[in-house]
Amino acid sequence: MSRKLDSPVQTQMAVAIFKSPLGGEYHGNRRMEGKQPAGRRRVFVQTETGCVLGMELDRGDNAHTVKRRLQIALEVPTEESCLTFGDMVLNNDLSAVRNDSPLLLTRNCLHRSSSTPCLSPTSKEVQQRDQSGLVEILGQSNSFSKMKKLVKDTVKAIKMGVDPIPVHSGLGGAYYFRNSRGESVAIVKPTDEEPFAPNNPKGFVGKALGQPGLKRSVRVGETGFREVAAYLLDYDHFANVPPTALVKITHSIFNISDGVNCNKPHKKKPVSKIASFQQFIPHDFDASDHGTSSFPVSAVHRIGILDIRIFNTDRHAGNLLVRKLDGVGRFRQVELIPIDHGLCLPETLEDPYFEWIHWPQASIPFLDDELEYIQKLNPGRDCDMLRRELPMIREACLRVLVLCTIFLKEAAAAGLCLAEIGEMMSREFRAGEEEPSELEVVCMEARRLITEGEVRSPLSDLEDEEFQFDIDCEEIKYDFIPKTITEDYMARTPSQFGTVTANGCFPLSKLEESIEEEEEEEEEKASIGNDVGKVGLAVLPIPERLTTMSKLSTSLKNSTLCDKKQKSQKLAKAENGYFANTSSGHRSANEQLPPSMTFVKLADMSEQEWTLFLDKFQELLYPAFSKRKSVTLGQRQIQRLGTSCQF
Ligand SMILES: Nc1ncnc2c1ncn2[C@@H]1O[C@H](COP(=O)(O)OP(=O)(O)OP(=O)(O)O)[C@@H](O)[C@H]1O
């Protein structure tokens, strides 16, 4: 491990070495348009501890030449370093890397505990040599044009000495940047100050950039581009996401955990960061402080539509700002502003969080303009746009976007309301165990079907001893037509499939339990990553368990699905164990993170499998929607009955 990578001094050197000849102050992206010699690109290399180095690539550069330059600056031997750009490990060719792209430099992709200090340019000399502007938007989208004035105002205020204000709420580092009148105009969240990132100022540290973060399916350092993705996907400002861009920004307010800046505000030196930069929206409350009944139906629907598309795992009430419109003559009316989209577009499906799910507005059918908006959504086009504007975005995130957009479109067309759609995406906890959502159950079945190649008769399935969804033996008839498997399976909610255990498996009979217990013990001894599956224990109360047992297929062993879930759980355990600890006084990521389950993976499918999977997924949606509608109908009847029985 290089000593140099952990000390601020070399970063100064690095920046000096990589100083940009494209000097001048910030002019949006104008400077890059036209004036840059053909084939030249500027990139920002971020080390896993958050240090940002501006660097220029010539046409002839390749990953090796870049690493060699970094070796000189940081003393990291090229064979020990790894340069990545989103999903891509840059081994040689750099043609996919665009101007202004942030690259990540890690040590041979090794994950390590990262309480090590951040490197950042600290001396005045370095700042002068690093001639990029104080705030530079990374990306070319026209959607960022609104941001240019904001950036200009911010830069002017910085130069006048108007300091940003640290935001005390939230787990991550965030700063209100102001204009020359001292008014907050932007909120800036550096990617290396996210929860658990190396330079988090609130003590939530313990991971390097690129490792699984607060949510396992969102890596540390990758919430910033998700904030931007949410803004870019919010076409026509439909849900009211504030304008947001990714920036490279330099200021002394930012935190670095090297003891240089900590607790010595008067001695702070300017540091450069990659950050999300979002327009500050003046507001009166957030949704946790305000009665939700006054929220307009259309505002709730529009935010819900966005949350579903982007699979938001963090729509809590604090992430909905509320602005009273009394001042603009709309007495008692409010406007909602959705913020904090850093935990959307996870790399796998998990449990989303939709605060609005039980608000009455979410049970009101979609309005015509909303249905029209949904109908026009085109997930393929969304992906193309995101690949173009945010080339570091991972394909796994795009698959989640595609899946959820299809789900939304089909559900809305089938007449489901927002609450129903949200419920179908949410997991349930029963007896302390997490069950897959209805959406995940559909995905699991679609994967099973494409893995098997063809839908086959239940008899052959039983002979194969493949895993089946709670097939009731008594109900199986030999003249059962293939489609019926799916229908039978769809006729059940996840809870009717039986409780899923911590391993994501359905409960077994007692006999099987004891066998599995033994197997589990055996496997505890086996190494992590062993392919032998282990099946979890049933957790149902006895009577319920007996009913479930009688219904279970006799062929629950050899479950590929369970194997996969157990493997991912083992890996999760292994990873949790791996990030052993951090500096004392800081809360390590290990202490904070509850393990979360992955019931179905999307990223490991080939392009061809993914296409087949989406076809199957769409086919399976219709019976799932019918089931959901009948459940809702049943609930309403019970509610009505309850009301009419009241004296
Ligand atoms: N665009 C905005 N305009 C005005 N205020 C904002 C904006 N974005 C965030 N805030 C304020 O800053 C606070 C912290 O922001 P945010 O919730 O995005 O940070 P976070 O660290 O990601 O928080 P959390 O830990 O809740 O996820 C918010 O509670 C809100 O009060």
**pLDDT mean over 504-526:** 36
* Token pair belonging to 188: 């800036």
Residue 232 lies in a domain: yes
Q: Are 78 and 159 in the same domain?
A: no
Residue 191 lies in a domain: yes
Q: Residue 241 Cα, ligand 1 centroid: separation in angstroms?
A: 13
The tens digit of pLDDT for each residue in 527-552 reads 323 332 332 222 333 333 323 322 22
Instruction: Kindly report which listed range (52-66, 242-256, 357-371) carries the lowest average pLDDT score.
Output: 52-66
* Token pair belonging to 73: 């600056």
Q: Residue 106 Cα, ligand 1 centroid: separation in angstroms?
A: 29
Residue 198 lies in a domain: yes
The tens digit of pLDDT for each residue in 267-310 reads 578 989 999 999 999 999 999 987 899 999 999 999 999 999 99
Residue 358 lies in a domain: no
The 8-class DSSP code of residue 244 comes to: E
Residue 173 lies in a domain: yes
Does ligand 1 come within 6 angstroms of the Cβ of 172? Answer: yes
Which pLDDT value is given to residue 9? 28
Q: Are 79 and 155 in the same domain?
A: no
Q: Are 144 and 251 in the same domain?
A: yes
Does ligand 1 come within 6 angstroms of the Cβ of 190? Answer: no
Q: Which of 176, 194, 340, 341 to mutate to test the pocket of ligand 1 (most atoms within 8 A of CB)?
A: 340
Q: Are 97 and 165 in the same domain?
A: no
**pLDDT mean over 220-247:** 97
**pLDDT mean over 130-147:** 83
pLDDT at 189 over 70: yes
Residue 121 lies in a domain: no
Residue 80 pLDDT class (50, 70, 90 cuts): confident
Which pLDDT value is given to residue 259? 52
**pLDDT mean over 384-410:** 96
Q: Which of 146, 165, 167 to mutate to test the pocket of ligand 1 (most atoms within 8 A of CB)?
A: 167
Q: Residue 327 Cα, ligand 1 centroid: separation in angstroms?
A: 24
Q: Which of 147, 168, 183, 187 to mutate to test the pocket of ligand 1 (most atoms within 8 A of CB)?
A: 187
Residue 230 lies in a domain: yes
Which pLDDT value is given to residue 352? 96
Q: What is the CATH number of the domain that holds 50?
A: 3.10.20.90
Q: Residue 339 Cα, ligand 1 centroid: separation in angstroms?
A: 7
Q: Residue 341 Cα, ligand 1 centroid: separation in angstroms?
A: 10
Does ligand 1 come within 6 angstroms of the Cβ of 170? Answer: yes
Does ligand 1 come within 6 angstroms of the Cβ of 171? Answer: yes
Calpha distance 59→39 (Å, rounded):
5
Calpha distance 537→540 (Å, rounded):
9
Residue ending a domain, among 245, 280, 315, is 280
Q: Buried b vs exposed e over 389-413: b needs ≥16 C-beta within 10 Å?
A: bbbbbbebbbbbbbbbbbbbbbbbe
Which pLDDT value is given to residue 77? 73
* Rounded (10°) angle between helices 379-389 and 223-233: 130
pLDDT at 101 over 60: yes
Ligand 1 atom nearest to CA at 318: 29
Does ligand 1 come within 6 angstroms of the Cβ of 150? Answer: no
Which residues on neighbouring strands pair with residue 175, listed in sequence order? 166, 188
Which pLDDT value is given to residue 73? 67
Could you tell me which residue, 491 or 619, shows the higher pLDDT? Answer: 619
Q: Are 95 and 219 in the same domain?
A: no
Which pLDDT value is given to residue 384? 96
pLDDT at 363 over 80: yes
Q: Residue 172 Cα, ligand 1 centroid: separation in angstroms?
A: 9
Q: Are 93 and 141 in the same domain?
A: no
Q: Are 154 and 196 in the same domain?
A: yes
Calpha distance 102→88 (Å, rounded):
12
Q: Which of 176, 222, 321 to mutate to test the pocket of ligand 1 (most atoms within 8 A of CB)?
A: 321
Q: Residue 199 Cα, ligand 1 centroid: separation in angstroms?
A: 18
The share of the chain scoring above pLDDT 70, in percent, equals: 63
**Total domains present in the chain:** 2
Q: Are 182 and 142 in the same domain?
A: yes
Total-model pTM = 0.72
Q: Are 234 and 138 in the same domain?
A: yes
Q: Which of 204, 339, 341, 353 to mutate to test the pocket of ligand 1 (most atoms within 8 A of CB)?
A: 339
Which residues constitute the domain of residue 74? 41-107
pLDDT at 27 over 60: no
Phi and psi at residue 337, to the nearest 5° = -125, 110
Residue ending a domain, among 73, 107, 141, is 107
With left for phi above 0 and alpha for psi between -120 and 50, is residue 51 left, alpha or beta?
beta
By the 8 A CB rule, do 150 and 185 touch? Answer: yes
The 8-class DSSP code of residue 605 comes to: S
Could you tell me which residue, 290 or 614, shows the higher pLDDT? Answer: 614
**Amino acid residing at 338:** P
Residue 178 lies in a domain: yes
Does ligand 1 come within 6 angstroms of the Cβ of 167? Answer: yes
* Rounded (10°) angle between helices 395-413 and 607-644: 40
Phi and psi at residue 29, to the nearest 5° = -105, 15
Which pLDDT value is given to residue 395? 96
Indicate which residue's Cα is closest to atom 8 of ligand 1.
339
Phi and psi at residue 82, to the nearest 5° = -140, 130
**Amino acid residing at 116:** T
Calpha distance 557→545 (Å, rounded):
18
Q: Residue 222 Cα, ligand 1 centroid: separation in angstroms?
A: 16
Q: Are 138 and 174 in the same domain?
A: yes
Q: Are 139 and 252 in the same domain?
A: yes
Q: Are 143 and 93 in the same domain?
A: no
Centre a 10 Å sphere on the Cβ of residue 473 and count the other Cβ atoms it contains: 12
